[in-house]
């Protein structure tokens, strides 16, 4: 892979860049300053100094620069490097003669007064000859003592005139006297301090995209561009788009730009980390020049200790380093002291342990060590951890490195270690099992059988998301199933069926599971639990669970006798299947009991199988237990890991997006839908891509208002087209969402067409039964808007019957709403008002604020007809307040329209006036601040300078303000604020 270098845009540093620009501008007013850029290694200090130099040179400012090094031992070396022989300025002495009397060792050096004043005067004159002067001192923590002393005095007594002294340093390694001078200057205001924080995940994604464009996506292993993903290129096994890749890479790199670059160059993959930096060792070593220089500067003992520490892992103690390195404890302690002074390692606060300052540095130290040194160190570490009785996983980390030298001892360790880590790190488990299979002798007597290792490897590859590899290995096992022991044969069929399901090949998955189940005696043996689980799950996803229900129930009874784990998994599946079918009498008590059992289990147990929490949360959502569903789905999302878990995470995000929309968290619902869409594109799940797009459109419909209706409808229709024809929950869910969007945007005939075509006819038999009352109610409302009152009444009756059978309050509320609209059409406002009130109260009790507010707005005219204007206004005021809390602009728009049609005092107020002080409550404190400045005529750059924000950030805030207040210009914003101030 070509070197990524450091070229490309400076991302994530907009605020810092704006401050630098302001300092360069200030030089034109003959005001100088001292700039300190502080931060950890690799955080971007040098790059920011480069930006400062570029800004200065554009304005004609004179620039001199120097870079301190470990080998710069001559007095004033940094200043000599900056000036050279130019103009005879500041000819610093080659010895310390220019210093005052030699101070006691405990006191900092003091520069001779005449030398300091001469230097200060010459710097001021040099700057005054042009448009100003800039002296850049990089890595100043490495400077010689004389340079540090001179810099400290220049900080305490800055150079007058248009002169800027800028220095970048690592605070942990900077001399104390220099740190004291900088702290004093920062407190008095003579020093401008920029402390660089890690990049955020968004900046990492932008950085990745810039590299992808520069070197090509093929150079970035495992990553495709957002554009390629949109074009359908993200469906290959295990490939991620840059946004999906950025999140885990951010965690691995801790947001440090240099670490991001090194890991990408190393071919980093989420499932291999933190055990390995990536598969491309040469690529890693090409990108680590700065780190290599640090390690090369170590003494031999310190370098040996660093190599041993890198072998030991993230945490290490001196005694272990001493044994693995062979240095002995005394030499090891001296070596660790040197490593600590150089900030290569850092001591922990307690426990006598150390860590490398970051994991990337540890990997670099490990990979650059000589192979024979690494082998010896890992062998000693394996012996040490074996004597200590460490876990198999801890020993396997060393066994994989000694496999070629001692295969017999390492094989069992690798197999046991893989079994321990498969849930948390399936990529590592797969690698260890592949290595064990490769090293396994043809007739292994003391190790596990090859078939057992192959099946374990199938499971690990599947969990890691390497599905095609897993499928090939599983089919190799099934090439002659008669040679497999009975229990292993059943497990292999189950694993293979699960892999086909994860690949989206539902027919193949069902056929494999059914074929194996048909060959078993009846009643089913307990060993068939995993196979029955896969059979039931694929039918659940296809929307045909009724066909699998008898088999699942039989397997539940069989598993109850032997295996508690398999029993629970099957029970959760059965409860979810019953809830999907609308059989809440069976599902509700079972789900209640299972929730208690699952809540008591540790994360590691709940993570196996990974579908457990998704199924439980889904069943609770069907039963309108929203808080329970949210708790379990969020927990499942938190503990999901591994490549195949992308599909599980996708399901969690989809259901959580639904819950967030229902419970009034519209921004979060849209965000989760985007996350789910990215995950779906990464694994090539087109149906889920379409559903996620439609979910996003649904959240936007409530949050964005009518101005964006055309865009929202187009997005929903595109999402619905992405779902493939057939029976599965993605198709039916997308159909219901699209129909609602069509109905809300004045297309009732489109709503009818979508529901009837995708729902399978009059009673919508193909759509999810727990949601069928609300969908039938939607048909009734759409028919009413199409002036087909007879059809509207018919579907309302069907909805009533379906809701009564389910007994779910929210579904009943939707039916009440449709019934109320029928009464309105008949002029029966008394009956309508009662139903609107019942419906809105049911939504309120369920914690669904958007629907609560929408029902009040819809029913306000009936409330006016029955109870008078005061009650109608009270309904509208409540709706407006509730909709503000959840950002439902669509409800507020409708509320303003309805208020204008009521025959009430004050209804003639303009929309802008009506939306004055109340609407401003939607804005955050920062948004109100920006809104007031924008309304006063300030430009974005001026606002940014006043509030220390970049112009782009100001524009982003303004976009949100416009959307929340439903305005499109600064003039309209000014009118809103004017009305608000008048009302106040």
73 falls in which pLDDT band (50, 70, 90)? low
Q: Which range is least confidently modeled, 444-453, 730-739, 791-800, 861-870? A: 444-453
| CB contact at 8 A, 739 and 778 | yes
pLDDT at 912: 40
Q: What token pair was written down for 181?
A: 């001078």
Residue 77 has pLDDT above 70, yes or no: yes
- 873/860 Cα distance (integer angstroms): 8
Residue 91 has pLDDT above 80, yes or no: no
Name the residue among 314, 258, 308, 267 with its Cα closest to residue 288: 258
pLDDT at 247: 81
pLDDT at 531: 93
Between the CA of residue 740 and those of 572, 745, 773, what are the distances in Å?
31, 9, 14
Question: Which residue would you say has higher pLDDT here, 123 or 407?
Answer: 123
Q: Which range is least confidently modeled, 205-209, 749-753, 892-896? A: 205-209
What one-character-per-residue DSSP string does 126-165 give? HHHTTT-EEEEEESGGG--HHHHHHHHHHHHSPPPSSEEE
Residue 575 has pLDDT above 60, yes or no: yes
- 262/253 Cα distance (integer angstroms): 9
Using DSSP, state whether 856 is helix, strand or coil. helix
Using DSSP, state whether 788 is helix, strand or coil. coil
- 338/301 Cα distance (integer angstroms): 9
- 312/275 Cα distance (integer angstroms): 11
Q: Which range is least confidently modeled, 82-91, 434-443, 522-531, 749-758? A: 82-91
Question: Which residue would you say has higher pLDDT here, 977 or 27?
Answer: 27
Place of tokens 């570029």: 54
Sign of the torsion formed by the C-alpha atoms of 757, 760, 762 and 763: negative
Residues counted in the chain: 984
pLDDT at 904: 45
pLDDT tens, residue by residue, 752-806: 999 999 888 888 988 889 999 999 999 999 999 999 999 999 999 999 999 999 9
pLDDT at 83: 75
Question: Which residue would you say has higher pLDDT here, 272 or 451?
Answer: 451
- 581/578 Cα distance (integer angstroms): 5
Q: Which range is least confidently modeled, 559-568, 690-699, 764-773, 798-807? A: 559-568
- 844/776 Cα distance (integer angstroms): 22
Q: What is the mean pLDDT of residues 717-728?
A: 76
Q: Can you say how many angstroms the Cα of residue 248 is from the centroid of all Cα atoms in its chain?
A: 7
pLDDT at 38: 95
pLDDT tens, residue by residue, 390-412: 999 999 999 999 887 766 778 88
- 413/400 Cα distance (integer angstroms): 9
- 615/629 Cα distance (integer angstroms): 10
Number of other residues whose CB lies within 10 A of the CB of residue 14: 16
Sign of the torsion formed by the C-alpha atoms of 394, 396, 397 and 402: positive
Residue 130 has pLDDT above 50, yes or no: yes
Helix H, strand E, coil C: the string for 827-850 is CCHHHHHHHHHHHHHHHHHHCCHH
pLDDT at 726: 58
Residue 226 has pLDDT above 60, yes or no: no
- 108/104 Cα distance (integer angstroms): 8
- pTM, to two decimals: 0.74
Q: Which range is least confidently modeled, 74-83, 812-821, 918-927? A: 918-927
Q: Which range is least confidently modeled, 368-382, 442-456, 509-523, 525-539? A: 442-456
Number of other residues whose CB lies within 10 A of the CB of residue 685: 26
Residue 642 has pLDDT above 60, yes or no: no
Average pLDDT value over all residues in the chain: 85
pLDDT tens, residue by residue, 852-866: 999 999 999 999 999
pLDDT at 7: 45
230 falls in which pLDDT band (50, 70, 90)? very low
- 321/381 Cα distance (integer angstroms): 9
N-term to C-term CA, the chain: 64
Burial of 43 (0-12, 13-18, 19+ CB in 10 A): buried
pLDDT at 152: 93
Residue 211 has pLDDT above 90, yes or no: no
pLDDT at 238: 39
């Amino acid at each position: 892979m070509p070197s990524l270098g450091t070229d490309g845009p400076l991302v994530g540093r907009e605020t810092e860049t704006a401050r630098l620009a302001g300092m360069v501008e200030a030089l034109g007013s003959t005001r100088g300053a001292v700039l300190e850029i502080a931060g950890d290694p690799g955080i971007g200090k040098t790059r920011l100094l480069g930006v400062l130099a570029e800004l200065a040179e554009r304005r004609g400012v004179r620039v001199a620069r120097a870079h301190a090094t470990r080998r710069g031992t001559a007095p004033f070396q940094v200043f000599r490097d900056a000036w050279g022989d130019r103009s005879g300025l500041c000819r610093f002495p080659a010895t310390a003669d220019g210093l005052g009397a030699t101070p006691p060792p405990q006191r900092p050096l003091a520069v001779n007064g005449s030398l300091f004043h001469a230097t200060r005067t010459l710097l001021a004159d040099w700057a005054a000859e042009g448009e100003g002067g800039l002296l850049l001192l990089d890595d100043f923590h490495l400077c010689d003592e004389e340079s540090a002393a001179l810099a400290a005095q220049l900080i305490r007594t800055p150079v007058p005139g248009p002169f800027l002294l800028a220095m970048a340093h690592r605070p942990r390694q900077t001399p104390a006297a220099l740190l004291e001078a900088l702290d004093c200057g920062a407190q008095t205001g003579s020093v401008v301090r920029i402390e660089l924080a890690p990049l955020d995940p968004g900046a990492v994604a932008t950085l990745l995209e810039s590299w992808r464009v520069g070197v090509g996506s093929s150079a970035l292993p495992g990553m495709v561009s957002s554009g390629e993903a949109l074009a359908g290129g993200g469906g290959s096994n295990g490939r991620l788009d840059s946004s999906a890749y950025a999140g885990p890479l951010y965690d691995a790199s801790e947001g440090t730009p240099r670490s991001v670059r090194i890991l990408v160059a190393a071919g980093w993959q989420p499932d291999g980390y933190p055990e390995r930096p990536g598969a491309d060792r040469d690529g890693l070593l090409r990108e680590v020049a700065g780190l290599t220089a640090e390690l090369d500067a170590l003494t031999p003992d310190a370098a040996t200790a660093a190599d041993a520490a890198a072998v030991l892992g993230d945490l290490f103690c001196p005694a272990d380093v001493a044994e693995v390195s062979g240095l002995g404890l005394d030499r090891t302690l001296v070596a660790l002291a040197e490593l600590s002074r150089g900030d290569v390692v850092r001591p922990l606060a307690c426990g006598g342990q150390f860590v490398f300052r970051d994991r990337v540095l540890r990997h670099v130290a490990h990979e650059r060590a000589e192979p024979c040194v690494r082998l010896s160190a890992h062998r000693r570490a394996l012996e040490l951890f074996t004597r200590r009785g460490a876990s198999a996983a801890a020993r396997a980390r060393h066994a994989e490195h000694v496999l070629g030298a001692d295969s017999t001892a390492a094989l069992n360790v690798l197999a046991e270690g893989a079994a321990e880590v498969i849930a948390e790190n399936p990529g590592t488990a797969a690698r260890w099992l592949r290595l064990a299979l490769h090293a396994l002798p043809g007739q292994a007597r003391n190790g596990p059988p090859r078939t057992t290792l192959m099946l374990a490897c199938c499971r690990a590859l599947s969990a890691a998301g390497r599905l095609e590899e897993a499928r090939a290995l599983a089919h190799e096992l099934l090439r002659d199933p008669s040679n497999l022991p009975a229990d292993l044969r059943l497990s292999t069929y189950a694993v293979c069926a699960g892999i086909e399901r994860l690949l989206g090949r539902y027919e193949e998955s069902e056929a494999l599971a059914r074929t194996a189940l048909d060959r078993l005696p009846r009643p089913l043996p307990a060993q068939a639990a995993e196979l029955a689980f896969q059979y039931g799950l694929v039918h659940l996803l296809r929307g045909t669970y009724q066909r699998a229900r008898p088999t699942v129930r039989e397997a539940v009874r069989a598993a109850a006798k032997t295996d508690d784990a398999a029993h629970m998994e099957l029970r959760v599946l059965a409860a979810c299947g019953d809830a999907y079918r609308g059989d809440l009498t069976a599902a509700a008590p079972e789900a209640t009991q299972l929730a208690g059992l699952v809540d008591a289990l540790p994360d590691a147990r709940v993570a196996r199988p990974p579908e457990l929490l998704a199924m439980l949360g889904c069943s609770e959502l069907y039963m309108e237990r929203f808080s329970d569903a949210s708790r379990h789905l969020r927990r499942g999302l938190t503990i999901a890991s591994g490549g195949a878990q992308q599909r599980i995470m996708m399901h969690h995000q989809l259901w959580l997006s639904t819950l967030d929309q229902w419970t009034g968290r519209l921004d979060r619902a849209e965000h989760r839908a985007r996350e789910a869409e990215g995950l779906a594109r990464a694994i090539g799940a087109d149906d889920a891509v379409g559903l996620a797009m439609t979910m996003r459109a649904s959240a936007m419909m409530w949050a964005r208002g009518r101005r964006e209706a055309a865009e929202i409808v187009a997005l929903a229709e595109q999402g619905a087209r992405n779902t493939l024809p057939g029976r599965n929950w993605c198709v039916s869910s997308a159909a219901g969402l699209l129909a609602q969007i069509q109905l809300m945007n004045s297309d009732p005939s489109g709503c009818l067409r979508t529901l009837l075509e995708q729902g399978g006819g009059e009673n919508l038999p193909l759509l999810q039964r727990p949601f069928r009352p609300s969908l039938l109610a939607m048909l009734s409302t759409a028919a009413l808007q199409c002036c087909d009152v007879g059809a509207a009444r018919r579907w309302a009756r069907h909805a009533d019957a379906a809701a009564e059978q389910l007994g779910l309050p929210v579904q009943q509320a939707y039916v009440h709403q449709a019934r109320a609209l029928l009464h309105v059409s008949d002029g029966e406002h008394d009956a309508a008002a009662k139903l609107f009130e019942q419906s809105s109260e049911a939504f309120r009790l369920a914690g669904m604020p958007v629907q609560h507010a929408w029902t009040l707005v819809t029913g306000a005219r009936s409330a006016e007809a029955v109870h008078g204007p005061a009650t109608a206004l009270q309904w509208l005021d409540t709706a407006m307040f509730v909709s503000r809390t959840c950002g439902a602009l669509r409800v507020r728009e409708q509320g303003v329209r309805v208020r204008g049609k009521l025959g009430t005092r004050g209804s003639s107020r303009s929309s802008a006036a009506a939306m004055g002080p109340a609407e401003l409550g939607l804005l955050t404190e920062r948004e109100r601040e920006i809104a007031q400045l924008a309304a006063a005529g300030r430009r974005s750059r001026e606002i940014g300078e006043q509030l220390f924000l970049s112009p782009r950030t100001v524009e982003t805030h303004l976009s949100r303000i416009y959307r929340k207040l439903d305005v499109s210009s600064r003039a309209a914003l000014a009118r809103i604020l004017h009305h608000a101030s008048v009302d106040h």
